[in-house]
Amino acid sequence: MGDLKKKLLGAASILLNVEEEELVFEEALIRTKSFPKRGISLAQAVIGPGVNRGSVMGAGVYQTKGSMDKETGQGLGLLLDDGSGGAEVEVDKVFGSVKVNKYIGVADAGKAINPAGSNSKSLARLSWLLDRPLARRWFITATE
């Protein structure tokens, strides 16, 4: 069982006051085996007992078969990307300032069990996507 599932079962066992072994995942719910009508949504498990933690992160490792050639970059590799975006920007060539006029982004996140968390991830992606080219330009300018 993956790390994320273990964390969700841990939260559900506290909320439902049962042992983790008594719980099963069904659709978007975590239910008790002995009383199938008794359960909680995945969103409730993400929020967890007590304070709203907002999100749950799982950890894992994926290894591709083979490897990539360090010199050519060719071979078997892995790139995970769940979204894309585009921006309309204005660049002031005199002062070097950049203004983002419009941004549109899409994400293939599957079923969002925590829509507020998904929105936060989208905003974080926007920040990261805009930061990379702008920081790179700043770095090049600073070393000239």
What pLDDT digit, counting tens, does each position of 94-110 carry? Answer: 887 888 888 777 776 66
Terminal-to-terminal C-alpha distance of the chain: 52
Q: What angle do CA 22, 27, 28 make, to 5 degrees?
A: 90
- The answer to whether the predicted template modeling score (pTM) of the entire model surpasses 0.85 is no
Give the HSE-up count for residue 33: Cα atoms under 13 Å, Cβ half-sphere: 8
What pLDDT digit, counting tens, does each position of 18-60 carry? Answer: 999 999 999 889 999 999 899 999 888 888 877 666 667 777 7
136 is written with which tokens?
Answer: 């790179």
Look at phi and psi of residue 99 and say left if phi exceeds 0, alpha if psi is from -120 to 50, else beta: beta
